[in-house]
Amino acid sequence: MECVEFMSEPYFLEPVFHEKIWGGTKLHTDFGYDIPSDHTGECWAISAHPHGPATVENGPYAGMTLDRVWAEHRDVFGNAKGDVFPLLTKILDASEDLSVQVHPDDAYAAEHEHELGKTECWYVIAAEPGATMIYGHHARTREQLAEWINNGEWDKLLRRVPVKPGDFLYVPSGTIHAVGKGIMVLETQQSSDTTYRLYDWDRVDKTTGQKRELHLQQSIDTTNVPHHDPDLDITTTKVGDATVTKYVQSPFFGVWQWRLTDGQATFNRGKAPYTLVSVLAGKGSISVDGKDYPLAKGVHFILPFDVKQWTLKGDLQIIASEPGEKA
């Protein structure tokens, strides 16, 4: 096969939507997406997961799903190793509380679920006044954890934390958590769909007439005891006119905010072989290889390996992520 020279460019993605018992309409009203129903909970914006891979909209791979590009054109990602694309970016709209859940680590997930574990993080896009997350628990030992779970002593067990727009929470595997009612988050996570549901507020799923399945033993096995809040070293720097906030640099991923107010900033690729980008607010453009591409709220794209430099212009609030060394 002859090698075709492509110009380097960002790859824009068409998201996939998932309806949820707790979902709402804000993915349409706030982000302008064409959603399937009034209980749409998740926008899988940058996804190569089999339960909902995003589709490339432009360039030589237009019309291909991201998992296929990863499988067949690994050079796009700097020939990064791994059977599966390691990251997944979502926007969640919690019109009701999500179930209380925990995700396994890589070792437990590989043995029991044959996929990656799930460490994730949330950037809070919107939160109604008084909104709270469940984040961690109060049990001191695994025996106490099991006792409180099996006895349904949720008020004793669960730790609620208030959140506001702009907050960032890092959720390592083994952390009991739930996004609360009235909150929208951008979630960056390992590409896994394994969730152990601990408690679902005793609600009945209208589509089945049943309560959703719980996974109590797996939850007890995989929860970190006692809970410790991760120690985040959040730092802010300037790149051109942009304010860059580093939220986390973990073995699985790094996550940053790029904030630009009527200005411009030129970024150079660091060590990571590719970059995932989501526009949360504003409008502007990105210039790559001498070509400008318009950007607006709700646009998601990947900067592939061959994009070594890019310039942002305009009023933009962006969350960017890159794979860590374990990805």
CATH of segment(s) 11-222 = 2.60.120.10
Percent of the chain with pLDDT over 90: 96
Binned at pLDDT 50, 70 and 90, residue 327 comes out as confident
pLDDT value for 4: 54
Cβ atoms of 53 and 67 within 8 Å: the answer is yes
Task: Return the domain boundaries, the chain.
Answer: 11-222, 235-323
Superfamily for 235-323?
Answer: Jelly Rolls (2.60.120.10)
Distance of CA 320 to the CA centre of its chain: 10
Query: Tell me: the pLDDT tens digits for 221-246?
Result: 999 999 999 999 999 999 999 999 99
Res. 177: pLDDT tops 90: yes
Give residue 3's pLDDT. Answer: 57
Q: How many C-beta atoms surround the C-beta of residue 150 within 10 A?
A: 11
pLDDT average, residue stretch 204-223: 94
Catalytic residues: 197
Distance CA 299, CA 38 (A): 21
What's the pLDDT band for 207 if we cut at 50, 70, 90? confident
pTM of the model: 0.95
Q: What is the pLDDT of residues 3-60, one digit of tens each?
A: 556 689 999 999 999 999 999 999 999 999 999 999 999 999 999 999 999 999 999 9
For tokens 């790094």, name the residue: 254
Q: Would you call 34 exposed, middle or buried from its count of C-beta atoms within 10 A (0-12, 13-18, 19+)?
A: exposed
pLDDT at position 206:
87
Q: What is the pLDDT of residue 141?
A: 98
Per the rule left: phi > 0, alpha: psi between -120 and 50, beta: everything else, 55 is: beta
Mean pLDDT, residues 299-324 taken together = 98
- Tell me what the pLDDT averaged over the chain comes to: 96
Domains 11-222 and 235-323 share a fold: yes
Phi, psi (degrees; rounded to nearest 5) at 185: -130, 150
Residue 1 has pLDDT above 90, yes or no: no
